[in-house]
Amino acid sequence: MRSLADTFDILKQAWRKLPVRVALFAGLAVLAVGLVEIAGRYVPDDLAGWIDVGSVDRLLNHIISAMLVVTTFSLTVMVSVQQNSASQWTPRVHQLLMEDSTTQNTLATFIGAYVYALTAIALREIGWIASDGATISFFVTLLVLIMVIGSLIRWIFHLQTLGSLINISRRIEDRVQEHFHARYAAPCLGGHALTDETEIPTGSIAVGAPQSGYVTRIWADGLQEQAIARGIRIYLVAPIGSFVARGEPLALVAMETAPQGAVDTPLDQMICEHIPLSDVRTFGQDPRLGLIVLAEVASKALSPGINDAGTAIDVLHRLTRLLVAYEDESPPDRPTHDRLHVPPLTPDDLIEDAFDAIARDGAGVIEVQVRLQKGLAQLIRHNSPAMVRAARVFARQAARDAEQALSRPGDIRRLRAARAVGPKI
């Protein structure tokens, strides 16, 4: 059974899906038609015949024909933008574009208006909405038209930047920043840090993955509740974003105290329900995926066919900005999920995700290497010793690889002058 926090998170994720918004707007449209019929019963007699029923029907017919056109147009544009962005930047941006709230609200408004008009006409034909409700129906229809026009104008302005480099990179950066902040607010998902020094009790039960796939998220609240009820301690050995083959352990479970409640679900089933797997990585709780996607955008810009160093430099600045805000995941003395042990985000992994592909593909581009060294220099001044150590090691390796790739003596001198850790490199 899901905890209240996990249920809220599920609803939040569902709200980002287009079918959910379309279904909600369509439901509101049907509800509006029903309210029109009810409100029409209370219209004064002197206002009941103020609006001709035929005028309302003509407006509804115009809405039906217009909504079919604009919805088809919007869907065509949406698919075109997604395909172009996937081919121009990276296929992984498809997930973010699918969650674009402006696009979803626009399509939902158009389809909702279509459902409203179609339902109103159908109910008028069968006599459900009487002529007395024509006045109310007219003003509600005008309100629907205003919403449609507003959505169309907003959609047109939104299309000016949708799918562009700035739009894509900013979306990714904002999503990564959002998940980093959530992670820092609850280090290790509110549990203990699972590191190499953590002593896992002997005899712990390994719960294997029911299928091969990526760990997309961990429902920590539900796991904590189950761990208390079962009197167990859970060591989550497969971090979010990792790929596990079928049968490989998702978690190790150790008995700690006597069970404190009735348990109906088997242990392995409970663990698998709270650690969903997918054939693709998702942005849900995985900030490392965002770093990788940003690096892919820069890496593709550095390919010989594109040769766009400016895009790579822009991405480097964004990656540096994200990593400068890094905080060590040091759980408090009494973590909220004291029965869970979760692998922390480590600077070594974050720097590798962010800079490795750019350092490799841009090894022979001096402008990129200079910006990379400057970004790493900022991380070397970080207040986290782990981040300082990881940035210094990476800066040295990147400088050595770049010196081998650069052929012009002047470029090599520029690189040496920009080294992040001075003569130690």
Q: What per-residue confidence (pLDDT) applies to 130?
A: 58
- Confidence band (pLDDT; 50, 70, 90) for 163? confident
Lowest mean pLDDT among 321-335, 358-372, 378-392: 321-335
pLDDT digits (tens, 9 = 90+) for 50-80: 666 677 778 888 888 888 888 888 888 888 8
Closest alpha carbon to 312 in 242, 405, 375, 261: 375
Q: What per-residue confidence (pLDDT) applies to 419?
A: 83
pLDDT digits (tens, 9 = 90+) for 176-190: 999 899 888 888 999
At 330, list the tokens: 């040091």
pLDDT digits (tens, 9 = 90+) for 195-239: 888 889 888 999 999 999 999 999 999 899 899 989 999 999 999
Q: Which residues does 6 contact at the CB level (< 8 Å), separation at least 6?
A: 219, 221, 222
Place of tokens 């003596």: 409
Q: Are 418 and 373 in contact (CB under 8 A)?
A: yes
Whether 48 shows a pLDDT value over 60: the answer reads no
Q: Is the dihedral of CA 326, 386, 189, 14 positive or negative?
A: positive
Region of 213 (left: φ > 0; alpha: ψ -120 to 50; beta: rest) is: left
Closest alpha carbon to 271 in 345, 204, 192: 204
DSSP string of 260-328, one letter each residue: -S---S-HHHHHHHHS-EESS--SSS-HHHHHHHHHHHHHHHTSTTT--HHHHHHHHHHHHHHHHT---
The angle formed by the CA atoms of residues 90, 94 and 98, to the nearest 5 degrees, is 160
pLDDT digits (tens, 9 = 90+) for 333-364: 678 899 999 999 999 999 999 999 999 999 99
Q: What distance in Å separates the CA atoms of residue 138 and residue 261, rounded to the nearest whole number?
A: 59
Fold classified for 188-278: Aldehyde Oxidoreductase; domain 3 (3.90.1170)
Model pTM score: 0.82
The angle formed by the CA atoms of residues 30, 35 and 38, to the nearest 5 degrees, is 135
Instruction: Provide long-range contacts, Cβ within 8 A and 24+ apart, for 253-260.
Output: 253/204, 253/205, 253/206, 253/207, 254/200, 254/201, 254/203, 254/204, 254/205, 255/231, 256/231, 256/232, 256/339, 257/231, 258/231, 259/229, 259/230, 259/231, 260/228, 260/229, 260/231
Helix (H) or strand (E) holding 203: none
Closest alpha carbon to 250 in 343, 180, 337: 343
Q: Are 301 and 311 in contact (CB under 8 A)?
A: yes
Q: What per-residue confidence (pLDDT) applies to 52?
A: 65
Lowest mean pLDDT among 163-167, 223-227, 353-357, 386-390: 163-167
Coil, helix or strand for 243?
strand
Q: What distance in Å separates the CA atoms of residue 306 and residue 165, rounded to the nearest whole number?
A: 14
* More confident of the two residues 379 and 155: 379
| DSSP3 helix / strand / coil % (the chain, rounded to 5) | 65, 5, 30
Q: What distance in Å separates the CA atoms of residue 72 and residue 320, rounded to the nearest whole number?
A: 41
- pLDDT above 90: percentage of residues in the chain: 39
- Confidence band (pLDDT; 50, 70, 90) for 424? very low
Q: Are 175 and 96 in contact (CB under 8 A)?
A: yes
Q: What distance in Å separates the CA atoms of residue 152 and residue 148, rounded to the nearest whole number?
A: 6
* Mean local confidence (pLDDT), 81-105: 81
Q: Where are the domains positioned within the chain?
A: 4-163, 188-278, 287-336+344-424
Q: Are 227 and 233 in contact (CB under 8 A)?
A: yes
Coil, helix or strand for 193?
strand
Q: Considering the chain, what is the average pLDDT of its residues?
A: 85
Q: What per-residue confidence (pLDDT) applies to 5?
A: 57
Type of residue found at 1 = M
